[in-house]
Chain A
């Protein structure tokens, strides 16, 4: 299994030598590909149509306020190769914009809407970029960013 993973990682790395920052095998069935944010759409198209990663599993965002970036990770399963890949990119926190990957995997629609709502990342080209889980009149910073603090004490009076 690890042999297959390594071949996939090296194949992606060699095909996009100047765009893919890193392609490594974290462990069995975990390939991690880090790309520059400007090129995420073309890399996603390639790994979906040429490499065969067709089954979107999860989209996560992680906020790093100290480094001023938000990391967005797409997790994709391949039904033909039976392995799992993480497509990572980092976007600046001050201008959180990213190309939507809904044209490649239509299943990431709701996941991207959730990240838009929880992290304030706007996805260019998303067909229906609106809030999903929070109430309609929600005001305040995106709640899953680190500068949104939970109230820890009861308010009295």
Chain B
């Protein structure tokens, strides 16, 4: 029998799974996506490079705006070959890591709902507010900032930011310890996630999974280490890796990533140099092509830009992490029960906006 899961299911977001089921067990899953397709790749061909910043931000605006824009800025700067002030690069890293934490907290809220643990929704949303407050201090906005631009950043860190951020980070680290006890030692959560949706490392590589989903299968790959961009080579941080490849391992990776991100923000705030925050850059990008990779919260995000020497991109192809992680779904949902589908889906951290673009 065929069953539609979504697009109105409470856990599904704007996508649909077509499930072939036999009783309660799923024989085959076919993702049906495109409900939030906005044609962003086509839109970017009709706007200038600066006008495109808010457009590409909408690829994944409500979770991970900074990292999404950072990839675009990186690829434009590679073709412009422009200099970026050191202070701007530090601000970018601070914002990117803050966004990673905010995104993982948002995921933790959805993940705990998917296993029926709704108390956690209030807890993680509460802590996410702290980071949104910090964003508001820097940019004046809470979700979509458009704060990065080629040649630097638009806003400097305000006076008193470091004290507030340190206070929040101290609080957040205490809360992370509570989270661990609340979720990862919770018998229900362990029952619903351990051994559920396992994927082996060879399958994960072959299917092109990225980010926490790949690292949970025992593959230590992170763009911040493999191909350091901005100033990530200055910081001392670990890449959490797990072996099991199941929903629990993926959750644990994201939890440890939040700890690492806190450490990176602290190091960046300590060592941020004084100086200008942006340089003037030309509005016309010379002819050529480039591919940039950044580690967004969900994994590697790639931008392929073909420029033809005008002020508009000739072609901008975005390879988003959710689109790539979606490839795992049909593989890891064979012969699971329907009740496990929300936990598996949430453990991959798929965002329909990110898939559809």
Contacts and interface: CB of A to CB of B under 8 A. Distances in A.
Chain B associates with chain A: yes
Interface of A: 29-30, 54-58, 60-63, 73, 75, 77, 79, 82, 84, 86, 105-111, 118, 132-135, 143-144, 148, 150, 152
Given A29-B227, A75-B291, A110-B326, 11 more contacts: A54-B205, A62-B315, A63-B315, A73-B304, A106-B206, A107-B207, A107-B208, A111-B323, A118-B41, A143-B39, A144-B42
B221 interface: yes
B184 interface: no
Contacts of A111: 319, 323
B33 A60 contact: no
A143 B356 CA distance: 14
Given A58-B319, A62-B315, A84-B291, A75 B302 contact: yes
Q: How large is the interface on B (under 10, 10 to 19, 20 to 34, 35 or more residues)?
A: 20 to 34
Chain A binding site: helix, strand, loop or mixed by DSSP? mixed
> B43, B227, B357 — which one has the most chain A CB atoms within 10 A of its CB?
B227
Nearest to B323: A110
25 contacts: A30-B291, A55-B208, A55-B221, A57-B302, A57-B319, A58-B291, A60-B315, A60-B319, A62-B317, A75-B291, A75-B304, A84-B291, A86-B291, A105-B208, A107-B324, A109-B327, A110-B326, A110-B327, A111-B319, A133-B33, A133-B34, A133-B37, A134-B34, A134-B37, A144-B42
A57 B208 contact: yes
A55 B205 contact: yes
Nearest to A145: B42
Nearest to B206: A106
B42 A56 contact: no
A108 B208 contact: yes
> B304, B317, B327, B357 — which one has the most chain A CB atoms within 10 A of its CB?
B317
Contacts of A56: 208
B15 to A, nearest CB: 11
Contacts of A134: 34, 37
